[in-house]
Amino acid sequence: MIRMTAAAIAAAIAATALAPAAAQEAHAPRRVLVALAHPDDELFMAPAIAALVREGAEVTLAYATQGDVGPGVSGMEKGAKLAAVRLGEARCSQKALGAQHLVSFNRGDGRMGIDVQTSGSAANQALGDFARIAPGFDLVLTWGPDGGYGHADHRMVSAFVTQSVQAVTGGTRPRLLYVGIPNGTLPPLPQMSSWATTDPELLSEGIAYTPADLAAATRAAQCHETQFDAYSRDGMMTMFDATIWRGKVHFRPAF
């Protein structure tokens, strides 16, 4: 979760020069899986999701957990009620972005890094979930190994998805892309100072988006009221557009 004030957002945008992105376009896929840990994780590639839908892709958002231990700014107690609210927020975001499908495995928020090798653990079940569905897609988007800012659930979902895709044989293997932040493009916010960045040379693929796609991403951000205050929901997409993305969400191939 990132909390931002209006002044901080404005300063972040002003402090970062707008420059054209160098990544090349990802080829237009037919079926896309966006593999995530929690409701709201989709926001970090939201305009790319909207762009893929606009270009005719059939997009599925798949969440390993329902975010039942992350009350964010809501003050809600952890547990089933919070999970239900956050799943509703994810469905709102799905609608805003135009994604056709949403899958929630509900395997236990905060438990992806626990007893990974143990049969019946939340982690082991999530691995099985992604292994079961990944082969049916042309393109899979997920967190990189850094998990964005090191979140264990993000890191493990990246690992589960990578393991699942690398096991698919030959011509039926989907392309797997990790979302990334180019070096030197982080907004100058203390809350994001520890986020991982990537050498731009590795970010060789990108999904360009239009102003309409960015507007859809902003509507998606508005859905996650438990996780972000009003200032953050209003300004985060504009800030990411001006600093990190600059018209294109950046990805690197896993293989």
Closest CA to 96 of 230, 208, 217: 217
The CATH class of 6-253 is: alpha beta
Query: Can you give the pTM of this predicted structure?
Result: 0.89
Q: What is the pLDDT of residue 17?
A: 46
pLDDT digits (tens, 9 = 90+) for 91-145: 999 999 999 999 999 998 988 989 888 999 999 999 999 999 999 999 999 999 9
- Mean pLDDT, rounded, for 224-249: 97
Dihedral sign for Cα atoms in the order 193, 41, 231, 226: negative
Give the residue-averaged pLDDT of 150-172. 94
Tell whether the model's pLDDT for residue 21 goes beyond 50: no
Contact criterion met (CB below 8 Å) for 131 and 164: yes
Contact 197, 186 (CB under 8 A): yes
Domain extents in the chain: 6-253
Q: Looking at 15-24, 164-173, 229-238, which range is the least confident one?
A: 15-24
- Output 193 or 6, whichever has higher pLDDT: 193
Task: Give the residue ranges of DSSP H helices in the chain.
Answer: 6-15, 46-54, 80-97, 122-133, 147-150, 152-166, 211-223, 230-240
Q: Which two tokens stand for residue 235?
A: 């300004």
